[in-house]
Amino acid sequence: MEASRDMTKTGQLQRGKSSLGSPNGRAASEEVLPVVLYRAPGYLARRFQQVCAALIAESLASEGLSQLQWAVMTCVDDRPGIDQRHLAQGLGIAPVNAGQVVDQLEANGIVQRRMNEKDRRVRELFLTTRGAKLRRRLQPVNTIANARILAPLEPHERDSLIALMVRVIEGNAVYARPGAGRRKRGSGKKPPP
């Protein structure tokens, strides 16, 4: 537990405060904690995901698209003819979730499924004309949202962060899969007290 705690920008070690008060004289319930409470990778990754999800969702809100729908549109546009299994694998989501998102986008006239000529069981995915126009219209807005995510960094730091994130993800590829780290439903195991 101690290893997950670290110094904040102010140099103070943040720990749980008793209800009797904190060093600044406020009751613990009134104390304002820093945005970054711990410097542990798992904690920071979750907080970074919150920032990313909020900014990307904001950029897509005008069209009512979710971040996952946008990711599917992007992948289908970049790889016309991709099938759902490879789409799910590329996005790191369960195939059933990929199918549900494709169903939603197909119902909205954004994506279409076509039968593979060599294997009639496989459905290839393509953006419709409407989907391609929507993607082209939202791409600049999404690019700006992604730039806002990294705006606090200098340009060379942005490149370094992306390179390091790719290395960490590729180096832990066995864990970069749908459902990794989640408790199984009905496992009967309760967290320790």
pLDDT (0 to 100) of residue 4? 41
Domain residue limits, the chain:
36-171
Q: Per residue in 100-157, pLDDT tens?
A: 999 999 999 999 999 888 887 888 999 999 999 999 999 999 999 999 999 999 999 9
pLDDT (0 to 100) of residue 175? 86
Query: Any idea of the CA torsion for 99, 100, 103, 108, to the nearest 10 degrees?
Result: -140
> Which pTM does this prediction carry?
0.73
pLDDT (0 to 100) of residue 120? 77
Place of tokens 């970069």: 176
Nearest CA to 40 out of 83, 3, 68 is that of 3
pLDDT (0 to 100) of residue 18? 37
pLDDT band at 182 (very low <50, low <70, confident <90, very high): low
The fold of the 36-171 domain, in CATH, is Arc Repressor Mutant, subunit A (1.10.10)
9 has a pLDDT exceeding 70 = no
